[in-house]
Structure formats: C-alpha cells, structure tokens
Chain A
Amino acid sequence: MDFSTVELTDETREFRRDVSEFLDVHLNEAVLETERRTGAGHSQPLHRALASRGWVQPTWPVDEGGAGLDPLQNRILQLELADRDAPMISSGTTRIVVGAVRSYGSPWLKEQVLPAVAAGEVICCLGYTEPDGGSDLAGVRTGAVRDGTGWVINGAKMFTTGAQHCQYCFLVTRTNTEVPKHKGITTFLVPLDRAGIEIRPIETLGGERTNAVFYTDVRIEDDYRLGPVDQGWKVLSGPLSDEHGLQRGDAELDEINGQGAGYRATLDRLFRHALHWALTAGPDGSRPYDEPFVQLRLAEIATDLEIARSTPGAMGRVNGSELLIRDSALLVDLVGPTAVLPHGATGASEDGLFEWGHRYAQGTATYGGTTDIMRNIVAQRVLGLPRPPRFDG
C-alpha cells in the first residue's frame, strides 16, 4: 500500500515542464472551442503535434514512432491531457484497435497501420453496435461474405464515434449464420475510404458527434481480416475486456477503477469547479460555502469521488458513471439557474460546465457497454452468481 507523493527527478520535472509548455501552445483555446462546437472528440492539429513528439503512442519505443516514455512520464502526460480536457476519444478507440492489430493483424496490415498510427496519420473507430441491438454484440447482423480472395460487406453500424475523421473502422461482422451466434463472428479493419461506405452524423445530448455508418457491397481484401474466420469473439474479448476495464496494469500509479476513471475525472472536474463557486464571495462578501447545506452537499459529492476512486474493475465502471449522473444533477440544483446556462451565455456559472456536465453524464451509462451489462459482469464473474437462462441459444 502506498499513496505517497512521487518525488520527481530533475529529468522528470523537466519533462513535466516540457509537456506543460507544449500543451500551452497546441491545446489552445481554438482547439477547445472547436471541440465544444463540433463535439468531434478529436483534434487533428493537436494529434499531429502530439505525433511529432512521439506522444500518440508515448510508451512505444522511439524506433517504432513512440517516445519510449516510462510509466511515470506517461502518467504525467495523460493527466495533463485529461486536466486540460483534451479531445481524446479517437485516440482511445485507436488504442483499443491497435491491440487487436498487433495480436491478430497480418504482417502486411501491421506494416500499413502501426507506424502510421504512431505518426498521427491513422486513427481508428469501433464498428460494434448495430441499429437493432446495443449491448448484445454477439448478435451482430452486418454480414461479410467471401468473394474470391476478398470479402463483401453489407450492413449498418450505429454510434461509430469518430468515423468522419478516422481512416479505419474495427468492424464486427457475421460470417456464419449456421452456428451459435458467438461462433460465427469475424472482425476486420475496414478502410473507410472504400466505395459503398456512407457516414451519417448523429448529434447527441452530450454534444458529442457520433455516426451511423452504412456498408453497401463494400469490397475489402482478406489482408484486412483480424484473426481467424468465425473466431472474432476471441479477438474481441481482448479489446472488450480492455474497454470494460477488467484488466489493469500493475503500475503503482494506475487507477484501480480502470474504465470508470474517465467518468470519475469528469465528476472531479465538476466538483472542483463547484467548490470554487462555493468559496467565491458574492457582492455582500458572503460565500455559498458559509451555508451548512452547501457544505453538506459538496461533502457528499467529495465522498462519492473517493468512493468511485476506490472501486475496482467493472464495479468501478458502474460507480464512475452512476455517481457522475447523480451528482451532476445535484450540482445543477445546488448552483441554481445559472447552472443551466451553457458556455458563452451571460452569467453562466463556471462558464457553462455544469450545464454540459449534466447532459454529458447521461451517455456514460452506455459508452462501451451499459452499466446494466457491467452489473451482469460483476454478478457472474466477480460474485459468481448464476446466469439467467438463455432464450436464444
């Protein structure tokens, strides 16, 4: 057990200063304003700048396009990006895809993709969810059919966040309808510039843009296949576990709440701003924090933050999301009508953060698998509770 302050060496301190100065320049107000306006979850100018320092895949060796950062340096970089609210959604999905490409891609595909990812020229999105089914990934209907040496893909995917600026989509397809549904899945890395792909925007309550992507007679070569035919479930279980936060590194700096860490960080930001609001004196010299009720509310939320931080694995994913949903609503109540004024509106509290936070929070119960699915995972894999009977084999 160790929660001590990390003593930074001169070299690490210098690295931290370097990161900070770099982000002062490249994660500027224009980048943040564009993100607020478009909800793209990605900034190509920032991404290219990061790539120029090897910071897109910062822990990769320098000769593979990374920066060879050690875990502490990487932690400093990631914290600094998160604290400044860098748009990193597509970086996150790319990281998931890279794991699958490394494990299952052909040598040719690895050569095509991995150096380009590190160089900031390639980012990847996830083609999992379909119009007919959300969390039931094994029930995919988008089909891939053999055509000579390649494949023809037909179907539709929903919520493919980042498709409008990504080069590849990690696509989950049905290649066999004659076997139980988990056994007829094949995964591909589909180049998004192929004929027959149509990307339509979907605006969300949280302000992020996502997409519906339609695949009509899309032809790809077999080299884009990831893993054996019909064994895509095995390929997916790596990234899925990753997305579900079931695995964690053992670095002493890591959050034990893996997948919930991002949502907890959002709640942390809302809380810090609420505390700032509460400790700021009004025209009459009094502060909201002078009122016992305000103290109690913020103490509850601060406690929730520590609870979320201390909750491991899939449990942490549930807590991270649900405490954010509950507390972002309570913070709006606490701050009052100025908390429903958006960024840029006259008199908006903390520049519209609470207004955004309450909207944004709602999506977190769904991203990467719903909290309901997470509860099932906890029930069956952590507590060993019996599975419900299946109705579809």
Chain B
Amino acid sequence: MSAAKQRQLRRNDYSLDEQQQAVHEAFADFFTAECPSSRVRAAEPLGFDQALWGKVRELGAVSMAVPADRGGDGATLIDLVLVAEQYGRVLAPVPLIEAVAAARLLARLDADAAADFLAATLTGEMLPTLALHQVGHDPRQIVPAGAVARQVLALHGQELVLITAAAPPEHVENMAHASLAWWDLSAQSGDRQVLAAGPRAVEAFAAAVREWKLLTGAALASSGDDAVRLAVDFVSSRTAFGQLVGSFQAVANAIVDAATAVSAARNLTRKAAWFAEYAPHERRELQPMAYLASARAAVQAATTAVHVQGGFGFSVESDVTLHFRRAKGWSVLAGDPSRELFDIAAHLPASFQ
C-alpha cells in the first residue's frame, strides 16, 4: 500500500460535553417524571396528550430546534437527538418530532408566508406536521401527527406546499397507537399554499425527511433501550427450574444481543447527528445507516423483550408491548428502513475512494 493512500485523521469522541449532558439530564428528568407508562396508555389510541404537549412546548422542545436568527433558541441536531432519545424512552404521546422537523423546514424557506407560519408555530397557535412521501399518483397518504395537526407540509412535484384543513382528519387506528390520519394532499384539497418551488424546495423537503428520520431513529434506539431494561428487570426477578430466568444463557444472550444493537444504534445516531450539524457534506451515508440500525435495533429489542417475558410479555399488561407497538409502528412510516441501503450505497464511492 502506498503512502499516498493515507487516510484522514479524525477525532472519535462520542462523549457528551457539559452542555449536552445538561440537555440530556433535563429532558430525562422531565419525561421520567411526567410520562410514566400509565400516561402513555391513557393517551391511547389517539396517542396525544394535550396537557403533556403543553409542558413539552413550555420546556422549549420546539423553539430550541429553530435557529436563533429565525426566532428560536438555535440548538444543534445533537441536542435535538438527545431530546428525541428521552421522548422515545418513555414513548411520550406528543407530536414532538413532527413539530420539530416541520418548524425547521419552515425556517429553511425564504417565503414571507413561511416566516409567518414559523412564528405561529413558535407561539403554539399552529402545529404543522410533515407528509413523509412525495405526493404521487395517489394523493392520499398516512401522515404522522396527522390526526392532531391542521397543517401539513408536503412535496408535490417540485412544489413545497402547506395544506391547511379546517380540522384535523379523523384518526386512523394503528398498531403504534400513534396520531396517524389519512390526508388528501391533492392539488384540489382545501387551503393550499405554495411555499417554495424548484430544486431548492425539493432539497429542503429532503432535508426535513432526513431530520425526521434522524430524530425518529434516536427515539427508536431509546425505546429499544427501555425494552431491554424491562427485559432485564423481569428475568432478574423471576425463577424457573429453580434458578433465575436471566441466568440461563439462552435468555441472557438474546438480551445481550439486543442491548448491543441498541447501544451501537444510539452511538451511531449521535455520530450521524454530529456530522449532519458540523460536516453536512461529509460521510453522508451515516444518517441512513443510523436510521437503519436504529429501526432494526428497536424491533430486535422489543421482540426479544416480549419473548423473554414469556406469556406475560405477550399480554397487554406488560409495558414491553408498548415498545413493541411503536418499534414497528414508527419505523415503517417513512418506508421500508432497508431501502436506506440504496441511499447508503449512493454515498459510499465518495466516502471511501
């Protein structure tokens, strides 16, 4: 190998700095205190707790996501990932990730109308969400937070539009008990305003979807982490054949593998957030990798937790079923996570050659 092929030397520091640690702890404390599993269950099937959402907003979880020069508090994507982790850990029934992704999308646009909408979003008068798929032949689409939002940002051809309904459409039942609704995003639908057009609109929308995936990945990894915790608690206190269930290697190894997948997914998501924030044109495969790893880890952790809890894990009384429902119910919304592989493949030659 020739000396010419020397690689770039990068730091490899995953640790949180003081300020990041403070964000982590503040939101961990908040969600732990405010959102026990009973509150998650109480909000089902709509998946929305108005009072909790008010508190989340008061804590600044939406405004922090918007750049300071657009009226927000200018947090980094790393901070937002840390918040999303804690939201995902408790499965909070609030449209946090949708509101954050939509607000940041509005902040990225030049149109005066976008600025007005952003201002209304920051005051809480308006709750916009995001239609994750480009509007195609079928104008109907399942929209996350679509059952609690009156505004949806969508990409129609090369036009980025904001569609406003008089009231949110009817909630559609779903495995995750998420606030999903069918929206008609056709050109004829309701109040429709074009906020941007052309390649810049397309790119702004793509960036918003990337951020939705980054934050959803963070939430999924932490959901998986909590599922592992519940699995460990259960097998550490229950006995079978005269010994603790968790002392059987067949059981322990399955939990170890789930915990390993979750741990890697969380670290990879944080790393992807760092690159998205500070080096957005480098290592672009990291974001789809992080999302893929998180989606898979969450499902692995939830299915493992259900399994090692045995009959109890399969009964709705067990909180691992809450994680099980969201692991798949959240990660399927933006399309098959394995399709991220195409996006990863597109970036590999640039990153490794």
Residues of A at under 8 Å CB distance from B? 1-6, 8, 16, 20-21, 23-24, 72, 75-76, 79-80, 83-85, 252-256, 271-272, 275-276, 279, 289, 292, 295-296, 298-300, 302-303, 306-308, 310-312, 315, 318-319, 375-376, 378-379, 382-389
Q: Is the CB of B352 within 8 A of A275?
A: yes
Q: Is B281 an interface residue (CB 8 A)?
A: no
Give the A-B pair count, Cβ closer than 8 A. 177
Contact A20/B9 with A299-B344, A379-B256, A382-B259 known, Cβ cut-off 8 Å: no
Q: Is the CB of B345 within 8 A of A299?
A: yes
Which of A1, A5, A308, A386 interacts with B247 by CB under 8 Å?
A386
18 more A-B contacts (CB under 8 A) besides A295-B341, A295-B342?
A: A1-B17, A2-B13, A2-B274, A3-B278, A5-B10, A23-B3, A252-B12, A275-B352, A299-B344, A306-B286, A306-B289, A311-B263, A318-B256, A379-B253, A383-B228, A383-B256, A384-B232, A389-B243
Min C-beta distance of B94 to chain A, whole Å: 26
Complex Cα distance, B259 from A312, in Å, reads 11
Q: Is B15 an interface residue (CB 8 A)?
A: yes
Q: Is B316 an interface residue (CB 8 A)?
A: no
Q: Is the CB of A295 within 8 A of B345?
A: yes
A302 surroundings in chain B (CB, below 8 A): 285, 289, 344, 348, 352
Q: Is the CB of B11 within 8 A of A6?
A: yes
Q: Is the CB of A76 within 8 A of B349?
A: no
Sample 24 A-B pairs with CB under 8 A, ordered by A number.
A1-B20, A1-B78, A3-B12, A3-B271, A3-B274, A3-B278, A6-B9, A6-B10, A276-B353, A295-B341, A295-B342, A296-B342, A299-B348, A302-B352, A307-B268, A315-B256, A315-B260, A315-B264, A318-B260, A384-B232, A384-B236, A385-B247, A386-B236, A388-B247
Q: Is the CB of A378 within 8 A of B9?
A: no
A383 surroundings in chain B (CB, below 8 A): 228, 232, 252, 255-256, 259
Q: Is the CB of B263 within 8 A of A20?
A: no
Min C-beta distance of B28 to chain A, whole Å: 17
Q: Is the CB of A300 within 8 A of B341?
A: yes
Which of B11, B259, B341, B344 interacts with A253 by CB under 8 Å?
B11
**Most chain B CB atoms below 10 A, which of A76, A85, A318, A383:** A383
Q: Is B279 an interface residue (CB 8 A)?
A: yes
Secondary structure dominating the interface of A: helix
B352 surroundings in chain A (CB, below 8 A): 271-272, 275, 302
Contact A1/B274 with A382-B259, A385-B235 known, Cβ cut-off 8 Å: yes
Q: Is the CB of B11 within 8 A of A252?
A: yes
Q: Is the CB of A20 within 8 A of B3?
A: yes
Complex Cα distance, B141 from A174, in Å, reads 70
Mark interface residues in B248-267 (1 if CB within 8 Å of A CB, else 0).
11001101110111011101
**Most chain B CB atoms below 10 A, which of A20, A252, A319, A386:** A386
Which of A5, A23, A298, A307 interacts with B348 by CB under 8 Å?
A298
**Most chain B CB atoms below 10 A, which of A6, A296, A307:** A307
Q: Is the CB of B249 within 8 A of A76?
A: no
Q: Is B1 an interface residue (CB 8 A)?
A: yes
Q: Is the CB of B247 within 8 A of A389?
A: yes
A79 surroundings in chain B (CB, below 8 A): 7, 9
Contact A388/B268 with A1-B274, A16-B6, A303-B292 known, Cβ cut-off 8 Å: no
B285 surroundings in chain A (CB, below 8 A): 299, 302
Min C-beta distance of A392 to chain B, whole Å: 16
In the complex, the chain B residue whose C-beta lies closest to that of A20 is B3
Q: Is the CB of B6 within 8 A of A20?
A: yes
Min C-beta distance of A11 to chain B, whole Å: 14
B247 surroundings in chain A (CB, below 8 A): 385-389
Min C-beta distance of A63 to chain B, whole Å: 28
Mark interface residues in B263-295 (1 if CB within 8 Å of A CB, else 0).
111011011001100110000011001001100
Q: Is the CB of B256 within 8 A of A378?
A: yes
B263 surroundings in chain A (CB, below 8 A): 310-312, 315
Q: Is B244 an interface residue (CB 8 A)?
A: yes
A318 surroundings in chain B (CB, below 8 A): 256, 260
Which of B1, B6, B264 interacts with A310 by CB under 8 Å?
B264
A388 surroundings in chain B (CB, below 8 A): 243, 247-249
In the complex, the chain B residue whose C-beta lies closest to that of A257 is B264
Complex Cα distance, B221 from A307, in Å, reads 13
Min C-beta distance of B9 to chain A, whole Å: 4
B13 surroundings in chain A (CB, below 8 A): 1-3, 252
